[in-house]
Each structure stands twice: as C-alpha cells, then as structure tokens.
A = this chain, B = another copy of it.
Amino acid sequence: MNCFFEPRAIALVGASSDETKLGGIILKNLLQFKGKVYPVNPKYSEIMGLKAYPSAADIPEKCDLAIIMRPAPEVPVVLRGLQGRTGCAVIMSSGFAEIGEDKLQEEVKKISAESGIRILGPNCMGIYNPSQRLDTFFLPHERLKRPKRGNVGIVSQSGAILSCLLGAARTSRTGVSKVVGYGNAMDIDESELYEYLAEDKDTDIVVSYIESVADGRRFLEKAKILSGKKALLILKSGKGESGRAAAFSHTGRLAGRYEVFHSLLRRFNIREAMDFDGLMDAAKALSYQRPGRGNRVCIITNGGGSGVLAADECMRQGLEAATLPGHAKEKLGQVFPHFYGINNPVDLTAQVRDDDYATALEELRDDYDGFLIIALPNVMGITEGLAEKLKASMQSLSKPLVCHIAEGAIAGRLTRLIERARIPVYSSPERAVRALKALLE
C-alpha cells in the first residue's frame, strides 16, 4: 500500500493541458507533489512545464504508481501497457460496473491479476496524503480547499461523500492524515485500507463511508482489528433498500439487511454514525481529544434553556447528567452568587464571568467522566479570554471536554481560540452532547 500513499514517482495517463478537464485538474494538483510526476499524453511534448511522454513505456524509470484518467473502454489497453512499468494503479475513470459495464470491469480485473498491478478503483477519487503533498482528486483547489494535515484518516467508497467530508473537515478545523476514495473496490477494498491504516503512525481515527461490502466476514475481521487499535467511525448508507445493504453472513457474501450490519457493529463495539453531521462531529471530537470512560456528564452553562436541551440529549444518548456531589454544592454555593443554579447543569446565568467556568471545572473535575461547556457569547461577561481559562482547566482535567458556543458576534473568534486549545466546539447543545458521547464510548 505504500506505493499508493507514498510513491516516489507517478505516471499520469490521460494528463491534459486544459485546466478545466479532469486530466488537467489532476495534473495541476500533482504539481505540488513531493516526488516525480510523468504526464502521459501522445499529443504533447510538454504539459504544465513538465516533459510529457507518448506512452507509459517511454517514461525513463519505473513508477510506483500510475494514475489512469482515460475513457473506460481504453483502460484495458492502458493497463496492459503499464505491465512491468508500475506495481500500482489508480483507475479514476468511471463507466464500469457502476453503470452496468460489468464485463469491462471483469476484463480489467483479469489484466490486474495477470500483470500483478494492484488497482484502486475504478470510478474513484484516489488518494490525498498531505505529508507527501500527494493529491490525485479531480477537484480544483479553487473549488474545494483541502483540510490541513492531522490525525484523521478518511476512507470513502463514494467520491461525492469524500468531497463533502473534505469540505466539512476543513470547515470544522479537523486535520487529515490519509484520505482515499476507493470507488468500485474491484481490487483494493475497505478491508485492505483498514489494515493499512491500523498500522499507519499518522492516523489515530478512521472515518469510513460505506455503501456496500462484498466480503462481510473479512470486513468485520479488519474492522475489529482496526477499532481495537484506533477509533473507527462508520457511516453506512443504503439503509432503506435491502438490495443495496451490505452482504453479511458467516459463510461469505450473502446479501444481508442493514439491521444485521448495524447489530454486528454494535456487538463488536465499532462506532457507527447515524448521519453525515454525526460522523464529522464525532471525528472532530476524537481528533481533538483522547476518549475516556464512563457515562457521568457534567454540564456547565450560562444559558439555562441550553443546559436543559443538553440534559435531554444526554438522556437520549445514555449519558447521565448526575446530580452534583455534596462537597461541590457547598463549595460552589459559597463562591458563586446566590442566583447561580448549583445543580447539573450548573447555571452561571447571564451574569456569568469567564472565571466561573474554571471555578466549576476545578471543583467538579474528579466527580464526572466528561464535561460539556456551554457559552452563549451574547452577554458581556463572556470574552475571548474564556479560551485561555478553558485551556488551563483542560490541562489539569485529562478527561473529555467539549464545548457548545451559540451564535453571537464573538462566536467565530472564540470558537477558533477554544479549538486551538484542542477543545472541539459545536453549534448546538445536542450536537455537542453527541460528540461527547463519541468520546465516552
């Protein structure tokens, strides 16, 4: 798999000089790549400042990786031409099994087996590995800015969802390690990618979007191994149609229903997200913080109603917003104004000061398994200084801590400052609770 994620030299078959064409977008993105890039196109001697080659056979060295962006019917010929010239290929072209062209895909599969060339795709987005500045996606940067480098690996069957996940990761300031869109999974599938990411030192969390699984037993085996070492978050789509649902049985690849998939994940303690936002919210939480144990949650808020909504969501998520211990009631009752609510949620009211959060966290840190800070920044007592206070509290806490910041003029800046301290921030009380739940599973 190293040839896919950390190649030294890449051949791009179907390179174009036209930046609006897919082969041009990919080449432009590959110009940033740390290693060598060889554009293949018989019509040009040079493209985007790189020497171009009429065919892969003309490239002066063997390549670790070939990227194929030619119309589907040409792919078998292209692949045969790569025999002996590369060990790995990403077939980005669509027009195979996904539109009923099974025979064409079978032919490609046969060539792959005969030539020993491992295939990612066809009909896929390929690889993004920021540590190598490797980016095979046919999405222009001016349309989709890439997320920063981080510890989240993304494995997506769908290219569309992959692009959405990248956009959401960037917006939520969640960094990525290795990103791969594997498309039709003709050869390399999610199981093999899980195996690779389980050993990848840059990756702590794996986010996986799945539409169908060919070999259910192998999938479960690799998912179990991966989730034993790292946090694995799965979003399964096609829940409604049994025909599209994953194939599962103990004997191989019988068609199965989503409910079976769901219950197997539960049984093996593999995290499953229920929707797109839930997937990215959990990924962010796990990317920012270490998971903890237990289900006792303390909510500290300056908005009573927001605290109650959070407590409701705790109940739905199986988290317990347990009552405050006696020592804390007494101590906080002494230091806080009499109109503060010394319960769980701790209600610091509209008269809140930044310091109050730190005071409450300090007193309660040993009594709960996880903490939710809610700050409505539309009162003057909440300032950007809250980020420093939370950062300091966080350091002595070493338990999961997440934050909900409501809309307000300073919300954007405050969120960025708090997230710099590795405390994930969410835009609603319920989303914050669901993220905390992901840290306590």
A: residues with CB less than 8 A from B are 20, 94-95, 99, 138-140, 142-145, 156-161, 163-164, 166-168, 170-171, 209, 211, 235, 237-241, 244, 275-277, 301-306, 308-309, 311-315, 321, 338-339, 341, 349-350, 376-380, 406-411, 427-431
Contact = CB atoms under 8 A, between A and B. Distances in A.
B163 A376 contact: yes
A276 B311 CA distance: 13
28 contacts: A99-B338, A99-B339, A138-B350, A139-B379, A143-B410, A144-B408, A144-B409, A158-B303, A158-B306, A159-B350, A160-B305, A160-B306, A160-B350, A161-B305, A161-B306, A163-B376, A163-B378, A163-B408, A164-B406, A167-B408, A168-B407, A170-B407, A237-B308, A239-B312, A275-B428, A276-B429, A277-B428, A277-B430
B429 A167 contact: no
Contacts of A241: 311
Contacts of A380: 20, 140, 143
A235 to B, nearest CB: 8
A167 B406 contact: yes
A286 B339 CA distance: 38
A279 to B, nearest CB: 10
A377 B143 contact: yes
A237 B409 contact: no
Contacts of A170: 407
Contact of A143 (B313, B341, B379): B379
A293 B279 CA distance: 32
A299 to B, nearest CB: 12
A48 to B, nearest CB: 17
A7 to B, nearest CB: 24
A301 to B, nearest CB: 8
A427 B410 CA distance: 22
Contact of A309 (B161, B304, B349, B431): B161
Contacts of A431: 277
A170 B408 CA distance: 10
A306 B164 contact: yes
Contacts of A311: 240-241
Contacts of A306: 158, 160-161, 164
A86 B350 CA distance: 28
Contacts of A163: 303, 376, 378, 406, 408
A304 B158 contact: yes
A212 to B, nearest CB: 10
Nearest to A170: B407
Contacts of A166: 407
A306 to B, nearest CB: 5
A228 to B, nearest CB: 27
A428 B339 contact: no
Contacts of A244: 308
A105 B406 CA distance: 31
